[in-house]
Structures are given as structure tokens and as C-alpha cells.
Amino acid sequence: GAVVSQHPSRVICKSGTSVKIECRSLDFQATTMFWYRQFPKQSLMLMATSNEGSKATYEQGVEKDKFLINHASLTLSTLTVTSAHPEDSSFYICSVGRVDTGELFFGEGSRLTVL
Amino acid sequence: AQTVTQSQPEMSVQEAETVTLSCTYDTSESDYYLFWYKQPPSRQMILVIRQEAYKQQNATENRFSVNFQKAAKSFSLKISDSQLGDAAMYFCAYRSERYGGATNKLIFGTGTLLAVQP
């Protein structure tokens, strides 16, 4: 079964609204989760590293006030796209690293469409 | 900073034939992992194979094998007996093992779109 669950898989929203995407680690506790963004036919670009109990670490060029990340528990990280605009339409993927085995697991991804 | 380069945007192979996807990387670190991920149209990322940098032996997983050339910083993926289900986008990725291991980020290449012809 899935190790990492991401929800919702698809979301359509109006411009100016905020959208929250959840990433859950189902099998193990995760102190660190990663959020990626993928445009059509392009690679995955790391947006930020989500750290449980502390502030997320954002990659250069990613607006932290635009993409709010909260890692409130060892099994849940959320990405909130605030005041979404059409250019925020993309595929967002989370991943979780398992420290004891070194394995990395990916969520199913969330397709955001902003009208 | 580390970088990963995939110079083949698209590749095509006949069913049952063998294809090799190229990947080069740049790093000053000595301890790292390299990965090949497959992303089918469903967009779910699937781990194909991984290689620890300290291991000289090339990793293999059934029909998938790598040619890891550490000095040349090259990490190619060979798919033998290609099947229609192998058609997907393939990403090469690098992860430092310094300090954090699995808590370190993956750095992806730009991807190679593989088509398998029946």
C-alpha cells in the first residue's frame, strides 16, 4: 500500500483564493518532508524542505509568503498556496525520507488548476 | 553546488531491445547516492534503481542496470528487453549523504522521455 498519501489529487480554484495540500506519512514518522513543483514535461523542482516543529527551508526564488508550509506533526506536512493565480497552476509532489533505511517515498501528487 | 545533467530529452527503443539513458553529475562530495526514477503518465514517481557512491559494483534490478563511473561522474541506466510498460519519463537524481542522509534533498536532472515501439 501507499507509504505517503497526498490530498487532494486534483483541485480547481478561482484566482485569489487559497488552497491547502496535505502530505501524510502513513508508515513512519518523518521529521523532514520535501515539496516539489513540476510543470508539464519538466523536471521536479524543489520548493522547500519541511521540518517538523520548525520553519521550513525554502529554495532560492520561492516566495515563502506565497507558499506556506506547516509541519505540525511527525506524519503531516501541509502546503498552502495563498492568493493563487493562474501561473501557480502546476503539479505539486511531496516526498518523505525514511532515516533508518535511507529510502525516499513520493506522494501521488496534486494537480492544481487556478482559473 | 551539485548539478545533474541528462542530455537526451527523448529516446526511443523497440520492444525487446536494449536502451541506455545517460546522466552526468557534478559534485565535490565523496559520499552520495544516485538514483533513477521513472514517472509514467500517472505522474507517480517510482524508484527504478539506486547506487551508493562508495560501492564500485554497479547496481542491478532485474532488467535495469547502471554503469556508474565515479571518476567521470557518469551514471547511465540500461534497460534490457524493453517492454511497453517501460515507456515513461526517466529522471536521474543525486542525494548527498552528508550529515542527513534521507533527510537531504534530491537534485533531479531534466529527464528523458522514453518511448517504446511495439
pLDDT in tens, B88-115: 999 999 998 876 666 788 999 999 999 9
CB pairs under 8 A between A and B: 55
Residue in B43, B44, B102 nearest the CB of A104: B102
pLDDT, position B12: 98
Question: CA B40 to CA A81: how far, in whole Å?
Answer: 26
Q: For residue B41, count other CB atoms closer than 10 A to its CB.
A: 8
For B11-25, what is the mean pLDDT?
98
Rounded mean pLDDT of A33-47? Answer: 93
DSSP helix, strand, coil percent of chain B (3-state; round to 5):
5, 50, 45
User: DSSP class of residue B101?
Assistant: G
Mean pLDDT of chain A: 92
Query: Chain A partners of B105 at a C-beta cutoff of 8 Å?
Result: 34, 46, 49
Q: Is residue A62 predicted with pLDDT exceeding 70? A: yes
Task: Give the lowest-confidence range in A77-91, A95-109, B27-41, B77-91.
Answer: A95-109
Task: Decide if pLDDT at A17 tops 70.
Answer: yes
Average pLDDT, chain B: 94
Using alpha carbons, select from B78, B104, B77, B72 the residue that is nearest to residue B91.
B77
A9 in contact with B at a CB cutoff of 8 Å? no
Interface of B with A (CB under 8 A): 33, 35, 42-45, 47, 91, 95, 100-111, 113
What is the bridge-based pairing of β-strands B32-39 and B46-52? antiparallel
| Paired residues of A44 in beta bridges | A38
**Percent of chain A beyond pLDDT 90?**
72
C-alpha dist (Å) from residue B5 to B22, B27, B34, B75, B109: 8, 12, 12, 10, 5
Q: What is the pLDDT of residue B100?
A: 64
Say if the Cβ atoms of A102 and B107 lie within 8 Å: no
List C-alpha distances in Å: A82 to A65, A106, A114: 8, 23, 11
* DSSP string across B47-91: EEEEEETT--SPPEETTEEEEEETTTTEEEEEE-S--GGG-EEEE
Residue A6's pLDDT band, with cuts at 50, 70 and 90, is very high
Examine the pLDDT at A30 and tell me if it is beyond 90: no
A99–B106: do the CB atoms touch at under 8 Å? no
A91 in contact with B at a CB cutoff of 8 Å? yes
Q: Parallel, antiparallel, or unpaired for β B3-5 and A19-25?
A: unpaired
Q: What are the chain B neighbours of A109 within 8 Å (beta carbons)?
A: 43-44
Using CA atoms in the order A7, A12, A15, A21, what is the torsion angle rounded to 10 degrees? 0
Share of residues in chain B with pLDDT > 90 (%): 86
Contact state of B103 with A97 under an 8 Å Cβ cutoff: yes
Secondary-structure breakdown of chain A: helix, strand, coil percentages, each rounded to the nearest 5: 5, 55, 45
Contacts of B45 in chain A (CB under 8 A): 44, 93, 95, 106
Q: CB contact, 8 Å: A27 with chain B?
A: no
Residues near B62 by beta carbon (within 8 Å), at least 6 away in sequence: none
